[in-house]
């Protein structure tokens, strides 16, 4: 089975010689050894810019009946830049529907993934992020009968359980002098290093198994609760 990924920087594959950033799509194959991962996620892309740049059409002729198309956007749809921004209940869901239809027209199975949470703590409490985008995706999944993996919920639970300090190990946090690539240190609460990518990829793989979308597993392919 081939699993195609359309998404943003949180899923992208990176060169380890250039950055310690690791997207969940980069390691997903470690949790689904029987699958071929085709990662088309690209940093800075929203549903709007990904489609406008023709990145979805690049899959035409590659994606085949029975393949999976994992669709995860929101971080950049929230961005106010006009070339990226979408509104959650209109342009965002309209664009997501384009991905869904593209997969179905080619006999592939679309799977919607809510975005990974951001590591935003205030007064010892992990804050909700991504606003109505995740809710809009849930609504679209129900409307179009699309399998949905609630990665936001799972990632939130993982980060919350780790705690404010320990959860830094999942994201791009480096103390000054800790890593030669970041001599002045770094504090990035959106992008993952390997530990976080592994945690979230494992959640996604488990969701695909629960929904019966991986060969040899049971499930009805409905929205994951």
Q: What is the dihedral of CA 149, 136, 101, 209, to 10 degrees?
A: 10
27-43 burial: b if 16+ Cβ within 10 Å, else e: bbbebbeebebbbbbbb
Mean pLDDT in order along the chain per 10 residues (225 residues): 97 96 98 95 98 98 97 97 98 98 98 98 97 97 98 98 98 95 96 98 96 61 37
What gap in Å lies between CA 88 and CA 175, rounded to an integer? 36
pLDDT recorded at residue 219 = 32
Q: Mapping DSSP to helix (H, G, I), strand (E, B) and coil, where does residue 37 land?
A: strand
pLDDT recorded at residue 215 = 64
Judge contact between 29 and 38, C-beta under 8 A.
Answer: no
Kindly report the pTM of this predicted structure: 0.94
Judge contact between 89 and 136, C-beta under 8 A.
Answer: yes
Domains of the chain: 2-115+131-152+193-210 (3.40.50.1110)
């Amino acid at each position: 089975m081939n699993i195609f990924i359309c998404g943003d920087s949180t899923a992208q594959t990176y060169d380890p010689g250039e950055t310690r950033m690791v997207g969940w799509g980069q390691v997903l194959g470690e949790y689904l050894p029987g699958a071929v991962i085709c990662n088309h996620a690209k940093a800075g892309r929203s549903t709007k810019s990904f489609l406008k740049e023709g990145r979805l059409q690049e899959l035409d002729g590659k994606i085949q009946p029975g393949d999976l198309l994992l669709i995860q956007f929101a971080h950049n749809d929230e961005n106010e830049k006009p070339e990226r921004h979408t509104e959650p209940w209109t342009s965002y869901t309209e664009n997501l529907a384009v991905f869904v239809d593209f997969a179905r027209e080619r006999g592939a199975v679309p799977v919607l993934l809510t975005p990974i949470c951001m590591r935003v703590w205030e007064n010892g409490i992990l804050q909700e992020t991504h606003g109505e985008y995740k809710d809009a995706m849930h609504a679209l999944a129900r409307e179009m009968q699309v399998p949905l993996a609630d990665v936001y919920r799972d990632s939130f639970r993982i980060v919350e359980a780790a705690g404010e300090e320990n959860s830094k190990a999942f994201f791009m946090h480096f103390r000054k002098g800790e890593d030669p690539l970041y001599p002045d240190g770094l504090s990035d609460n959106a992008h993952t290093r390997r530990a976080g990518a592994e945690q979230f990829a494992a959640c996604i793989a488990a969701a695909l198994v629960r929904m019966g979308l991986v060969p040899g597993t049971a499930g009805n392919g409905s929205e994951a609760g």
